[in-house]
Amino acid sequence: MARIQKHNEKVAETRDAERQDEAIPMYQKWAATIRDYAEQISDPEVKGVAVQMADAADEVTEREIQFLGKPAPGQSREQHVQESTDQIVAAGRKVKDAEAKLQSRCPVGSSNTEL
Per residue in 29-53, pLDDT (tens digit) is: 988 998 998 888 888 998 999 999 9
Q: Is residue 52 part of a domain?
A: yes
Q: Is residue 110 part of a domain?
A: no
Q: Is residue 115 part of a domain?
A: no
Rounded to whole angstroms, how far apart are CA atoms 95 and 106?
16
Domain count, the chain: 1
Q: Is residue 65 part of a domain?
A: yes
Q: Is residue 7 part of a domain?
A: yes
Q: Is residue 114 part of a domain?
A: no
Q: Is residue 69 part of a domain?
A: yes
**pTM recorded for the entire structure:** 0.72
Give the domain range for residue 63.
2-105
Q: Is residue 113 part of a domain?
A: no
Tell me: the pLDDT tens digits for 52-64?
999 999 999 899 8
User: Where residue 85 falls among pLDDT bands split at 50, 70, 90?
Assistant: very high
User: Where residue 23 falls among pLDDT bands split at 50, 70, 90?
Assistant: confident
Q: Residues 65-68: contacts with CB within 8 Å, 24+ apart?
A: 65/20, 65/24, 68/16, 68/17, 68/19, 68/20, 68/23, 68/24
